[in-house]
Amino acid sequence: MQKRALITGVTGQDGSYLSELLLEKGYDVHGTIRRSSVDFRERIAHLEDNPRFHLHYADLGDSMSLMKVIGKVRPHEIYNLAAQSHVQVSFDVPEFTADVDATGVLRILEAVRQCGLADSCRIYQASTSELYGKVESVPQNEETPFHPYSPYAVAKLYGYWIVREYREAYGMFCCSGILFNHESERRGETFVTRKITLAAARIAQGKQRKLLLGNLSSRRDWGYAKDYVECMWLMLQNDIPEDFVIATGEQYSVRDFCRLAFHYAGIELRFEGEGENERGIDTATGRVVVEVSPDFYRPTDVVNLLGDPSKAMRRLGWNPKRTTFPELVRIMVESDMAKVAAERAGEQVRVNLAEYLEKGILK
């Protein structure tokens, strides 16, 4: 039997990698998209010719659109990846973040029930290490207490608990992946890793003078998104619905990431000074290329995330070390070096919208 999967947030970093994985596994993949004034879906453009890849309009803030798409597709598996996923932005749009990241999860669960799929449809919820927030112990595992530390994390905490509630109340196969930061060459450009790799590539090629960052001492457990989407799938193939921490078990600071990214771009950095006066200096030229700007400080910042992936290794057979930290940074820098070089050569990197219109994908 051909399995049907529905992915919300298919245009995002994880949605694009998960779509590729499920298509490779023979699934019929359905993704939800939103109306936007810039219909530019770079991450999934290469999939849109695949006859097993289908797009539907739906929004996590609109229960009727969710009921409609779930009732039409009748998926065997739903991966709820859609979210307002930027922590700093959640301080600016807290109500929208709560509606999408908290109530949106409830809307999916209830739509599955109302469509009569509670016994047949398995649901993955994209939860997050941000739940640990102002961390109460290090490393963090499935038993570590939560202390959310941003409007984003508080909203995601509701998502986590409502999934547990539907599992216990209605016996639904729904579970949360507590994923630590995962990055890639497709990462949004305002997350710190991609901001750094893109800036390193631009600075190395003379297109930018300086990179402004916030808290350089913040520490993260960074993995490769392509490896992490496999775990989402494994969680839904498990015999029972359970929540899992997905992480590498290694931790680096923003400063470490910066140093390595610039190294792969051909610039050796030396950091000097402290706090707002800290600077990253190109050791070859003595030029300041990294500065701290309080604009990127958060009202409350999560600074010490380190995951313990033992349960996922043991129960799902997942390998957290497939892509190492230096490999991840190298992949991202190489991709951005090539993109910046292509831009400099005047190459068009945009997708041709006429193709979308012809296929009736855009309305």
Binding site for ligand NAP (CB under 6 A): 8-9, 11-15, 32, 34, 36, 59-61, 81-85, 100, 126, 128, 179, 181-182, 188
Q: Which of 79, 152, 252, 264 is catalytic?
A: 152
Give me the residues paired with residue 5 across strands.
29, 77
Residue 40 CB, nearest approach to ligand G4F (Å): 21
Q: Which of ligand NAP, ligand G4F, none interacts with 144 (beta carbon under 5 to 8 A by kind)?
A: none
Instruction: Tell me how far apart the alpha carbons of residues 71 and 65 are, in angstroms, rounded to a whole number.
Output: 10
Is residue 202 close enough to count as binding ligand G4F by CB under 6 A? no
The amino acid occupying position 337 is M
- Exactly one of 29, 87, 98, 306 binds ligand G4F (CB under 6 A); that residue is 87
Q: Which two tokens stand for residue 178?
A: 């507590």
Contacts of 359 (CB under 8 A, 6+ apart): 48
Q: Which of 130, 166, 193, 197 is catalytic?
A: 130
Q: Which of ligand NAP, ligand G4F, none interacts with 213 (beta carbon under 5 to 8 A by kind)?
A: ligand G4F
Instruction: Tell me how far apart the alpha carbons of residues 48 and 29 are, in angstroms, rounded to a whole number.
Output: 11
152 annotated active-site: yes
CA 184 to chain centre: 9
CA 105 to chain centre: 16
Question: Reduced to 3 DSSP states, what percent helix, strand and coil does the chain have, rounded to the nearest 5?
Answer: 40, 15, 40
Q: Which of ligand G4F, ligand NAP, none interacts with 69 (beta carbon under 5 to 8 A by kind)?
A: none
Q: Which of 11, 128, 197, 248 is catalytic?
A: 128
Span near ligand G4F by CB under 6 A; candidates 122-130, 167-175, 274-282, 333-341:
122-130
Q: Which of ligand NAP, ligand G4F, none interacts with 214 (beta carbon under 5 to 8 A by kind)?
A: ligand G4F
Instruction: Tell me how far apart the alpha carbons of residues 225 and 194 are, in angstroms, rounded to a whole number.
Output: 13
Closest CA relative to residue 335, chosen from 264, 251, 252: 264
Distance in Å from the first CA to the final CA of the chain:
32
170 annotated active-site: no
Nearer to ligand NAP, 44 or 204 (CB): 44
Nearer to ligand G4F, 13 or 63 (CB): 13
- Exactly one of 129, 144, 248, 304 binds ligand G4F (CB under 6 A); that residue is 129
Is residue 195 close enough to count as binding ligand G4F by CB under 6 A? yes
278 annotated active-site: no
Is residue 108 close enough to count as binding ligand G4F by CB under 6 A? no
Instruction: Tell me how far apart the alpha carbons of residues 333 and 336 are, in angstroms, rounded to a whole number.
Output: 5
Q: At what angle do helices 104-114 and 151-170 cross, to 10 degrees?
A: 20
Size of the site for ligand G4F (CB under 6 A): 24
Q: Which two tokens stand for residue 221?
A: 């457990």
Instruction: Tell me how far apart the alpha carbons of residues 312 and 246 are, in angstroms, rounded to a whole number.
Output: 7
Q: Which residues are catalytic?
A: 128, 130, 152
Q: Which residues bind ligand G4F (CB under 6 A)?
A: 85, 87-88, 128-130, 180-181, 190-192, 195, 213-215, 218, 220, 254, 296, 298, 301-303, 305
